[in-house]
């Protein structure tokens, strides 16, 4: 039911009057129930819609009595103190009024005083400090994660399939079991992350999967290999989704992709690092009676254990407990993040409805499917690139080395695209670009062309798959509001990537070597599907954004308001929330 501004809760009434010289912008929070509308509007019957910042003109008398409004913008908090001072109002009165207004608007912040405003230079120093504490250790952990899940592709060339007698599709089944376990444990892992603290949870699972990888080097039978791959999927499932969720607790949504690109750049660099490391380790074959594939697992697993132990002491938890920040920096960061996705802050307590809302949200499913398709390309090329290059006619050692350059190019592209995407505040163009590169790369490898052209095609696939991945994984958290709904949505999206791994593990069959035409052709088909889904998603987002603009305009005219608690509850379904394209 529509409610007039005079009866709305949590806001003060102010009438528009002509002839007054001073005006300020005032945030008015509105609640109303939209009744069924005409066909074609896209609005579901009786759905809740939220109005965000409503621009209102307020006489100077009301300004002094009630306090000026401060509007949070992307690069900080700005008030109209300068304009007020220019009109003759004393600065002390205005600042006191501003503090009063802040306490009324956000009483939960009143205890810590008015949130500090940092200069551009201070903001740059703040983000630099956060980057230095988060990015290096998390990137190295993710590098270890991708090395340990993908090094089985390098081990295959060093005698794994021969010694364990992996005939038929046994190798593919071993790959598949990792992703099956990965899928079932992503959501539980993200739900317990805040309870157990990131520094303990993420470092703990890193040490455990490092141990599992090490033990994989001493397996003697096919069932033992399958069992260790299953355990590896269980433990590793918590890292990617946990880190992506952790980033959303530290960075505003339009600074997120740059950091995620640096982080995922570690995964693409892992391909180069793994190839070089496998090449060096291959010379240890025969040491202590173990073949080269065993030493690949043992040495790389031990490195991961060391990294996890260091992370236990280096990794930081949450902004409000960050001891490396000053009190002013902590207050600024907490306030900035709280109101980044919502004009009234986000819900931070857990309820079962957060799981239900994420599961029933169309955008979660759409972007999860797109991510799954992109993951088919990523895992297909990661797990089989050494074998694909080996099929060009090169030896095992040379194939390991030739797998390095595509990943180096991908690493540079991942970071460049991430910075560019955050600068223009768009995700979809980079998703499309990555899918197109993958499609062209697979098409080249399907065609009957020279070895040099096919090798060039692998550059396109590796670059496109890895460079598009961060844009997809940042797109969904950008468009979800509420800590726990976002956490569940991220887990679902990354859980679906395990389906991509399952598909990729089974379309590159042993009998199709060396050209793998079936696998490459199926990859092309999946890329084509994703290239249809991305524009459809963008159109849906644009349509919803336009509808919310219209609704907000109508609410301004009719002076209809929402209560702040209702806006927080609606989250990304509120009309003041705009989807990132």
Q: Tell me if 44 is assigned to some domain.
A: no
Name the residue with tokens 């890895």.
Answer: 466
* Cα(262)–Cα(284) distance, integer angstroms: 33
Q: Tell me if 9 is assigned to some domain.
A: no
Q: Tell me if 192 is assigned to some domain.
A: yes
Q: In a 3-state reduction of DSSP, which class is residue 47?
A: strand
Question: How confident is the model over 359-396, as pLDDT tens digits?
Answer: 899 999 999 999 999 999 998 887 788 888 888 888 87
Residue 347's pLDDT is 52
Q: Tell me if 133 is assigned to some domain.
A: yes
**Which one-letter DSSP state was computed for residue 4?**
B
Cβ contact 13:6 at 8 Å: yes
Residue 417's pLDDT is 93
Residue 362's pLDDT is 93
Q: In a 3-state reduction of DSSP, which class is residue 51?
A: strand
Residue 223's pLDDT is 94
Residues 434, 437, 443, 445, CA torsion sign: negative
Q: Tell me if 63 is assigned to some domain.
A: no
Residue 91's pLDDT is 39
Cβ contact 147:271 at 8 Å: no
Residue 536's pLDDT is 96
The domain of 376 spans: 121-568
Q: Tell me if 270 is assigned to some domain.
A: yes
Which string of DSSP letters, residue by residue, matches 464-491? HHHHHHHHHHHHHHHT--SHHHHHHHHH
**Which one-letter DSSP state was computed for residue 31?**
E
CATH number where 491 lies: 1.20.1250.20
Cβ contact 44:84 at 8 Å: no
Regions of the chain where pLDDT drops below 70 = 1-115, 267, 341-350, 563-564, 567
End-to-end CA distance of the chain: give it in Å, rounded: 32
Peptide bond into 271 cis (omega under 30): no
Residue 118's pLDDT is 86
Residues 381, 387, 393, 395, CA torsion sign: positive
Peptide bond into 26 cis (omega under 30): no
CB-side neighbour CA atoms (13 Å) of 137: 21
pTM: 0.69
* Number of domains the chain is built from: 1
Q: Tell me if 10 is assigned to some domain.
A: no
Name the residue with tokens 């209560």.
Answer: 563
Q: Tell me if 42 is assigned to some domain.
A: no
């Amino acid at each position: 039911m529509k409610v007039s501004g005079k009866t709305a809760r949590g806001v003060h009434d102010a009438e528009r009057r002509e002839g007054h010289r001073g005006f300020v912008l005032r945030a008015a929070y509105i609640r109303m129930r939209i009744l069924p509308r005409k066909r074609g509007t896209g609005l579901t019957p009786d759905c809740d819609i939220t109005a965000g910042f409503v621009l209102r003109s307020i006489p100077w008398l009301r300004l002094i009595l009630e306090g000026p409004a401060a509007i949070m913008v992307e690069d900080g908090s700005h008030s109209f103190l300068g304009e007020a001072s220019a009109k003759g109002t004393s600065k002390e009165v205005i600042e006191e009024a501003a503090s009063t207004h802040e306490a009324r608007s956000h009483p939960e912040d009143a205890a810590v005083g008015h949130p500090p405003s940092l200069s551009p230079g201070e903001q740059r120093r703040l983000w630099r400090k956060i980057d230095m504490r988060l990015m290096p250790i998390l990137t190295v952990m993710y590098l270890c994660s991708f090395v340990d899940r993908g090094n089985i592709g390098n081990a295959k060339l060093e005698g794994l399939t021969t010694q364990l007698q992996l005939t038929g599709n046994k190798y593919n089944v071993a790959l598949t079991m990792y992703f099956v376990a990965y899928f079932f444990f992503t959501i539980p892992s993200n739900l317990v992350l805040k309870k157990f603290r990131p520094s303990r949870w993420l470092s703990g699972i890193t040490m455990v999967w490092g141990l599992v990888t090490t033990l994989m080097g001493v397996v003697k039978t096919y069932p033992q290999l399958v069992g260790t791959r299953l355990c590896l999927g269980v433990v590793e499932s918590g890292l990617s989704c946990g880190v992506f969720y952790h980033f959303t607790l530290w960075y505003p949504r339009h600074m997120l992709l740059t950091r995620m690109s640096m982080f995922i750049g570690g995964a693409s660099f892992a391909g180069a690092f793994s190839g070089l490391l496998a090449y060096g380790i291959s010379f240890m074959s025969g040491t202590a009676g173990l073949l080269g594939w065993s030493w690949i697992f043992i040495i790389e697993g031990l490195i991961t254990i060391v990294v996890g132990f260091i992370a236990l002491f280096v990794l930081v938890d949450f902004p409000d407990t960050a001891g490396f920040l000053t009190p002013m920096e902590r207050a600024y960061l907490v306030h900035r993040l709280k109101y980044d996705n919502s004009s009234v802050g986000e819900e931070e307590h857990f309820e079962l409805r957060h799981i239900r809302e994420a599961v029933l949200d169309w955008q979660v499913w759409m972007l999860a499917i797109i991510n799954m398709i992109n993951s088919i390309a990523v895992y297909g090329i990661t797990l089989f690139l050494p074998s694909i290059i080996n099929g060009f006619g090169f030896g095992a050692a040379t194939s390991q080395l030739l797998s390095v350059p595509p990943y180096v190019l991908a690493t540079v592209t991942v970071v460049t695209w991430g910075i560019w995407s955050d600068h223009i505040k768009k995700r979809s163009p980079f998703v499309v670009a990555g899918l197109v590169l993958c499609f062209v790369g697979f098409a080249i490898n399907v065609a009957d062309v020279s070895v040099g052209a096919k090798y060039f095609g692998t550059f396109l696939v590796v670059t496109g798959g890895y460079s598009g991945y961060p844009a997809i994984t940042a797109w969904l958290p950008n468009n979800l509001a509420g800590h726990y709904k976002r956490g569940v949505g991220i887990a679902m999206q990354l859980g679906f990537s395990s389906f991509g791994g399952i598909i990729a593990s089974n379309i590159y069959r042993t009998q199709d070597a060396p050209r793998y035409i079936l696998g490459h052709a199926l990859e092309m088909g999946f890329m084509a599907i994703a290239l249809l889904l991305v524009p459809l998603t963008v159109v849906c987002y644009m349509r919803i954004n336009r509808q919310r603009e219209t609704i907000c305009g109508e609410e301004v005219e009719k002076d209809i308001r929402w209560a702040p608690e209702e806006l927080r509850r609606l989250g990304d379904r509120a009309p003041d929330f705009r989807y990132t394209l």
